[in-house]
Amino acid sequence: MANEYQIYGINGPVVTIAGPTALRMMEMVYVGEGRLIGEVIGLDVAMTTIQVYEETTGLSAGQPVYATGELMSVTLGPGLLSNIFDGIERPLNALEEATGSFIGRGCNLPALDAERLWDVTILAKPGDEVSGGTVLATCPETSAILHKVILSPIFSGRIVEVKSDGQYTVNNVIAVLEDTNGNRHELTLCQRWPIRSPRPVEKRLAPTRPLITGQRVIDTLLPIAKGGAAAIPGGFGTGKTMTQHQLAKWCNADIIVYIGCGERGNEMTQVLTEFSELLDPKSGKPLTDRTILIANTSNMPVAAREASIYTGITLAEYYRDMGYHIAIMADSTSRWAEALREISGRLEEMPADEGFPAYLPSRLAEFYERAGYTQNQNGTEGSITIIGAVSPQGSDFSEPVTQNTKRFTRCFWALDKSLAYARHYPAINWTESYSEYTVPLTDWFHENVGADFLSMRGQLFKILLEENQLLEIVKLIGADVLPDDQKLTLETARVIRVGFLQQNAFHADDTFVSLRKQKEMMRLILLLHEKARQIVLRQVPVVQIVKTGLFEKLVKMKYNIPNDNPEMFAEYAADIDNKLAPLIKKAGM
């Protein structure tokens, strides 16, 4: 089998080889004398097409193309956490040391530090029958995460030799496996896996546990389940990246994989700076101890942008197989789709809507379908939750990427530029957004938060929808002509919007709010609304209720009631009773 060919043509990141070859679809190749990383994306008798993941400037026809015999793959093992990679898993810190501030072409450094020693505890024993997913050893990867060295799904058989506990590099042999054919395989701390092939699981489970984020508009109104998929569409400046940062900091996932796909370099710099300074609220250790960053900024080669989300999801699946819960922040899938469009144009494929390739929906489905709550082959449970930002031009949610993303996600958090410009964050429009996870999560909410949690959520939604309808009338004839019961709805809705849905990421008590506090806040708002409604029905003007100052007090309760002092909610409820008592007496109730 030949393993060297010659370049026939070059069109940006697309390189062709003339004539038949022994290359396979999705095989990784090295292109040119600089050995640039590429991947085979098209094959026929007359031509082989390759997309190159590095800048092709300087390549010329006749230069060599080297076969590797391996699909486009990433290295999996200890050392991934706290690291930052580009879209094809090259470690950027190591690249900077090797080539300076600008990434050199053909600089193919190993993803994992081959010289670092890990304190390994061997769990496998000679004679053990093992299969894919079996935990062979453990080592503390960071202060927050214990790395479990699991057997690759492609292997099964009997352990015939193991090393003793000690310090090993990722390439040291820790055990020897004999398969059913009698072949022996040396096992190390790391393994390779093709990025476009999902790792197998024993069973996919229903998403019945919420991903708790501490953000009230999400946890209460628009919840997402562990193993679910959500889209955050929004125009420029509406807070997509900021919302994802907040979710990455506070959600109760074990590990965060943050994929900066085609975003501006200063945004990735902000992620690096903030995450390195933040402490994980669960462990008190640096947040980077349980974070993997993939940075493929807008000025990096476009083909690598297309590969970056597959790289990120493969790393997440590896930790999921250990029994961890992973949250992926993909920012932004629109930039990834633009990379597909550019490469499709270079290949002269027939374009579909707005120039995107006809296979855009299937590629989006391939990505989002790799989310899920699973039972792994080693008996553990894990999950991958995907939260993908979408950047429609001009905030047009009818464009292809947003519409096709809605088909494959069950949670849609639509960002509203009018809310963002009014400094209402998170700027999620509650009337345009939806979550289909509320029903699967019902039992969990009943058991862990209370049977009345979802009923109160429904009442809040009802008030907000009534307000939305009333505001259309107010625009035409003004609020003064509304009857008092409708004025009360507007007052209560303002408390919900400003005092409950709006959240301050820079306030210690408001940046993250437990479900218990969210429930008690809802209870107070609805208590005031119901008592005031009864008074208004007895012909007492709503303005007299507003003068008690109770509405303003509830707007500020998110700041004035500390997270560690829930007893204050009873004081607020008593204050509502006391201040409304004269009006209740006046109404003859």
Domains, the chain, ordered by start: 4-71 (2.40.30.20), 113-189 (2.40.50.100), 203-436 (3.40.50.300), 453-586 (1.10.1140.10)
Lowest-pLDDT choice from 158-172, 431-445, 446-460, 473-487: 473-487
The mean pLDDT value for 72-89 works out to: 93
Predicted confidence (pLDDT) per residue in 366-376, tens digit: 999 999 999 99
- 481 pLDDT band (50/70/90 cuts)? confident
pLDDT of residue 1: 42
Predicted confidence (pLDDT) per residue in 277-329, tens digit: 777 776 777 888 899 999 887 777 888 888 999 999 999 999 999 999 999 99
DSSP 8-class letter at 221: I
Phi-psi region of 419 (alpha: psi -120 to 50; beta: other; left: phi over 0): alpha
Cis ω on the peptide bond leading into residue 426 (within 30° of 0)?
yes
pLDDT of residue 589: 61
The mean pLDDT value for 152-169 works out to: 95
E strands present in 461-554: none
The mean pLDDT value for 170-175 works out to: 96
CA angle 525, 531, 537 (to 5 degrees): 130
Predicted confidence (pLDDT) per residue in 526-577, tens digit: 999 999 999 999 888 999 999 999 999 999 999 999 998 999 999 999 999 9
Predicted confidence (pLDDT) per residue in 230-285, tens digit: 999 999 889 898 899 899 989 999 999 999 888 777 777 777 777 777 777 767 77
The SS3 assignment for 5 reads strand
- 417 pLDDT band (50/70/90 cuts)? very high
The mean pLDDT value for 468-472 works out to: 91
Amino acid, res. 423? R
In this structure, are residues 163 and 308 in contact, taking their beta carbons and an 8 Å threshold?
no
The helix-helix angle for 302-320 and 360-368 (nearest 10°) equals 30
In this structure, are residues 142 and 81 in contact, taking their beta carbons and an 8 Å threshold?
yes
pLDDT at 57 over 80: yes
Report the percent of the chain where pLDDT is more than 90.
77
- 472 pLDDT band (50/70/90 cuts)? confident
Predicted confidence (pLDDT) per residue in 506-528, tens digit: 999 999 999 999 999 999 999 99
Q: What residues contact 478, with CB distance under 8 A and at least 6 apart?
A: none
CA angle 14, 308, 109 (to 5 degrees): 85
Q: How many CB atoms lie within 10 A of CB 118?
A: 22
The SS3 assignment for 388 reads strand
516-540 burial: b if 16+ Cβ within 10 Å, else e: ebbbbbbbbbbbbbebbbebbeeeb
Report the percent of the chain where pLDDT is more than 70.
99
Which residues does residue 150 pair with via DSSP β-bridges, in sequence order?
135
Q: What residues contact 232, with CB distance under 8 A and at least 6 apart?
A: 240, 243, 244, 387, 388, 389, 390, 413, 415
DSSP 8-class letter at 30: E
How far, in Å, CA of 48 to CA of 190, rounded? 32
Burial class (CB in 10 A: 0-12, 13-18, 19+), 299: exposed
How far, in Å, CA of 374 to CA of 338, rounded? 31
Cis ω on the peptide bond leading into residue 101 (within 30° of 0)?
no
- 101 pLDDT band (50/70/90 cuts)? confident
Predicted confidence (pLDDT) per residue in 141-155, tens digit: 998 899 999 999 999
Rg, C-alpha atoms of the chain: 28
Tell which residue, 173, 12, 200, 192, has the closest CA to residue 89: 192
Residues present in the chain in total: 589
